[in-house]
């Protein structure tokens, strides 16, 4: 054993020893053989000189006096402190050779584990991204979304609410609002219809989202006489403006009006506040004539030390103060502006759907592990004679236990490697199946997902190797050799364990089959739902009117009054009409309160609401 060099820490010296023992194993073995041979030769020469023995007899006597050569070699190897690594390397090579010699068993087990671990890994990534991961904002627990809430109704806010909250609130360091819509956008080329966001300066400020290039929207941009400016997304800047660096200072046309690009948002894996807009323009809300409609999204960031309860009381006071001014258009005196944690509003009911899919993926993984354990049990029954023969030849049970577990863990880790690849594909399938799931687009296979797959594989490996281990611990070598391998495979305990596996597989598969049947039944029923009209002969189209020419409601009404008769005169058109949204799809985010002329609601009571 070498002594550590002066100044070298003991830990570093030990690492150096281990590395030398592993990397220079062949050289060390040659040195060990030379040392043993030299010792025997010197001992034989001493016997020839002192006792006058013949050389052959002297070598024999020297070997007897020395004892078992291999015993001394093993003791020397143990002194290196890396024997367990050498044995692990041997077990790994033996396990891989054994799997290659049984290709059917290897492929079947790998396929089962790939499906099970891949599905579970995909669902772990989805659950982590949607439900567990923090929102991608600074101090996300300080963010709230403000709703108009009364009785069982909860929806966006109106222009009246936005102006009152911005002017009167005292519990938020930043607060802003945004109204979504679609506009006709051009950067000098063809027009395209994109999602737009008309936002106050405080919306992106509350989220702490700053432009990567240029400046953010400022409060002065909301003035009617301010020059028209716009912030564009990084994706649109790269697609139409030559990149973020070249976009600032250029002009784009939105609904026929020219806007100057003053900023470009950073390339983010998420949409700010859930708004997937290509262009962000100043809100410039018109002076309200009534308290409604309620279709504006409003967010705020709590001040340091302020709680959700503080913000709730603050906003309730604002609701009470502005109610008398607008009671003629919104008569519910119990309605309150209410803050809700932004995380809660983004996730919504997504957790219920994800947990159902997660439970299904967990059952698939359990079924896969049980099936692989069944195959391993059958394979182990045929190898019991080999294992017991190794025991008779001197292998300890601890050594054989490591060998058994190494074989099952190698198999499960191979399944994990292929399962991780399958999980990446599973995420894409999940995104297609669960379209619209909030934050699902942020799901990806990161280190935590890989760690989950490896952990699942290790647990599966232990379960898969449980039967071979139990077989090893429960039989004596002499008994196994006497009864033979055939009796092991047909033993009462083995048959009972197989029955347990079969029952377990049926028990795990039954919920999956029931769930699949219910989903199929729901799908069939949805296909049979009568929408109240025949969609086979209905065609729709969407028209965006440029704000520069149709800024007034009279101009808009005049356009539709001229356009509708012309559409009805098109050959093949039997009927034509106008609507904000096509049923049953609801594409309008505005919510309006109303009264029935023949059954008005009593003053101070909740009015019915509807989209439109």
Specify the pLDDT at position 398: 67
In degrees and rounded to multiples of 5, residue 474 shows phi and psi of: -100, 0
- SS3 of 287, please? coil
Given a cut of 80, is residue 606 above it in pLDDT?
A: no
Cβ atoms of 418 and 115 within 8 Å: the answer is: no
Element (H, E) at 502: helix 492-527
**Is pTM, for the whole model, over 0.85?**
no
Mean pLDDT of 474-499: 52
When the pLDDT of each residue in the chain is averaged and rounded to a whole number, the result is 78
Q: What does the pLDDT read at residue 488?
A: 43
Which pLDDT score, from 0 to 100, does residue 387 have? 64
Which of 386, 385, 418 is closest to 94 using CA atoms?
386
Please name the helix (run of DSSP H) or strand (run of DSSP E) that holds residue 380, with its range, or none: helix 350-381
Q: Which of 38-52, 118-132, 418-432 has the lowest mean pLDDT?
A: 38-52
CB 592 within 8 A of CB 609: yes
At residue 590 the predicted structure's pLDDT band, cuts being 50, 70 and 90, is low
* Residue 287, pLDDT score: 82
pLDDT digits (tens, 9 = 90+) for 62-94: 677 666 555 555 555 555 555 656 666 777 777
Torsion of CA 51, 53, 56, 62, to 10 degrees: -20
Lowest mean pLDDT among 55-59, 459-463, 564-568, 589-593: 589-593
Alpha carbons within 13 A on the beta-carbon side of 362? 9
Q: What's the rounded Cα separation, in Å, for the pair 149 and 153?
A: 6
Q: Is the pLDDT of residue 586 over 60?
A: no
Examine the pLDDT at 339 and tell me if it is beyond 90. Answer: yes
What single string gives the DSSP state of each residue in 168-196? H--SEEEEEEEEEEEEEEESSS--EEEEE
Which of 122, 268, 296, 294 has the alpha carbon at shortest distance from 198?
Answer: 296
453 vs 348 pLDDT, higher one: 453
* Torsion-angle region of 257 (φ positive above 0: left; ψ -120 to 50: alpha; else: beta): beta
Could you give the C-alpha distances from 286 to 39, 222, 370, in angstroms and in order? 102, 10, 66
| pLDDT given at position 28 | 61
Report DSSP state, residue 261.
Answer: E
**Rounded average pLDDT over 500-514:** 67
pLDDT at 480: 47
The band of 475, judged by pLDDT with boundaries at 50, 70 and 90, is: low
- Give the separation between CA 600 and CA 591, rounded to whole angstroms: 19
Say whether pLDDT at 485 is over 50. Answer: no
pLDDT of residue 74: 59
Q: Name, of 11-25, 93-107, 579-593, the range with top average pLDDT.
A: 93-107
297 forms beta bridges with 178
265 pLDDT band, cuts 50/70/90, is: very high
Minimum mean pLDDT range among 254-263, 429-438, 507-516: 507-516
The gap from C-alpha 196 to its chain's centroid, in whole angstroms, comes to: 28
CA distances from 396 to 295, 389, 402, 420, 473 (A): 75, 11, 10, 36, 11
| Contact (Cβ atoms closer than 8 angstroms) between residue 117 and residue 451 | no
- Whether residue 3 has pLDDT greater than 70: no
Neighbouring CB atoms inside 10 A of 8's CB total 11
Radius of gyration for the chain, computed over Cα atoms and rounded to the nearest angstrom: 38
């Amino acid at each position: 054993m070498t002594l550590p060099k002066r100044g070298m820490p003991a830990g570093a010296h030990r690492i150096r020893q281990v590395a030398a023992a592993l990397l220079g194993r062949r050289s060390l073995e040659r040195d060990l053989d030379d040392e043993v041979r030299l010792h025997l030769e010197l001992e034989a020469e001493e016997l020839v000189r002192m006792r006058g023995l013949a050389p052959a007899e002297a070598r024999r006597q020297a070997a007897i006096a020395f004892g078992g050569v291999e015993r001394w070699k093993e003791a020397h190897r143990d002194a290196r402190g890396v024997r367990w690594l050498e044995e692990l390397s041997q077990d790994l090579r033996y396990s891989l050779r054994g799997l290659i010699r049984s290709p059917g068993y290897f492929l079947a087990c790998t396929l089962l584990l790939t499906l099970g671990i891949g599905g579970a890994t995909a669902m772990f990534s989805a659950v982590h991204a949607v439900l567990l991961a923090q929102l991608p904002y600074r101090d996300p627990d300080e963010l709230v979304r403000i709703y108009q809430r009364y009785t069982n109704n909860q929806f966006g806010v109106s222009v009246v609410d936005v102006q009152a909250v911005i002017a009167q609130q005292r519990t938020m360091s930043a607060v802003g609002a945004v109204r979504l819509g679609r506009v006709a956008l051009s950067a000098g080329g063809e027009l395209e219809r994109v999602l737009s966001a008309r936002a106050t300066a405080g919306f992106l400020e509350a989220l702490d989202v700053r432009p990567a290039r240029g400046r953010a929207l400022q409060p002065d941009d909301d003035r009617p006489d301010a020059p028209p400016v716009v912030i564009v997304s990084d994706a649109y800047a790269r697609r139409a403006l030559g990149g973020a660096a070249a976009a600032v200072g250029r002009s784009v046309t939105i609904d026929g009006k020219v806007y100057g690009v003053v900023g470009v948002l950073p390339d983010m894996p998420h949409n700010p506040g859930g708004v997937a807009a290509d262009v962000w323009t100043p809100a410039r809300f018109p002076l309200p004539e009534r308290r409604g409609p309620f279709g504006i999204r409003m967010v705020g960031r709590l001040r340091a030390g302020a709680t959700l309860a503080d913000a709730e009381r603050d906003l309730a006071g604002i609701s009470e103060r502005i109610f008398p001014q607008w009671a003629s258009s919104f008569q519910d005196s119990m309605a309150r502006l209410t803050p809700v944690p932004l995380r809660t509003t983004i996730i919504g009911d997504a957790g219920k759907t994800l947990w159902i899919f997660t439970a299904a993926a967990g059952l698939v993984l359990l079924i896969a592990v049980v099936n692989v354990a069944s195959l391993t049990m059958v394979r182990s029954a045929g190898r019991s004679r080999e294992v017991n023969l190794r025991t008779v030849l001197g292998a300890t049970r601890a050594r054989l236990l490591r060998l058994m577990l190494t074989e099952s863990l190698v198999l499960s880790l191979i399944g994990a490697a292929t399962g991780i690849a399958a999980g990446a594909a599973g995420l894409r399938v999940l995104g297609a199946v669960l379209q619209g799931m909030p934050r699902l687009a942020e799901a990806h296979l990161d280190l935590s997902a890989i760690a989950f797959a490896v952990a699942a594989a290790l647990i599966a490996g232990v379960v898969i190797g449980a039967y071979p281990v139990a077989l090893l611990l429960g039989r004596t070598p002499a008994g196994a050799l006497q009864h033979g391998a055939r009796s092991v495979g047909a033993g009462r305990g083995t048959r009972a364990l197989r029955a347990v596996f079969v029952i377990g597989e049926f028990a795990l598969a039954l919920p999956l089959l029931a769930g699949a049947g219910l989903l199929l039944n729901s799908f069939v029923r949805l296909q049979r739902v009568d929408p109240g009209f025949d969609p086979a002969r209905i065609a729709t189209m969407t028209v965006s009117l440029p704000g520069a020419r149709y800024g007034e409601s009279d101009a808009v009404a005049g356009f539709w009054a001229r356009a509708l008769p012309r559409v009805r005169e098109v050959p093949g058109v039997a009927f034509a009409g106008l609507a904000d949204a096509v049923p049953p799809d609801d594409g309008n985010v505005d919510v309006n309160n109303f009264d029935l002329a023949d059954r008005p609601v009593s003053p101070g009571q909740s009015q019915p609401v509807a989209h439109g």
